[in-house]
Amino acid sequence: MDGKAFVETFGGVFEHSPFIAERAVAAGTIVEPLTAEGVHRALVAVFRAATPQERLGILNAHPDLAGRLAIAGELTEDSRNEQAGAGLDRLSPAEHARFTELNTAYVEKFGFPFIIAVKGLNKDDILAAFERRIGNSREEEFATACAQVERIALLRLKSLLAGE
Q: Is 96 a catalytic residue?
A: no
Are the beta carbons of 56 and 111 closer than 8 angstroms? yes
CA distance 59 to 42: 19
Burial class (CB in 10 A: 0-12, 13-18, 19+), 124: exposed
Indicate which residue of 16, 40, 62, 96 is catalytic. Answer: 62
Q: Annotated active-site positions, please?
A: 62
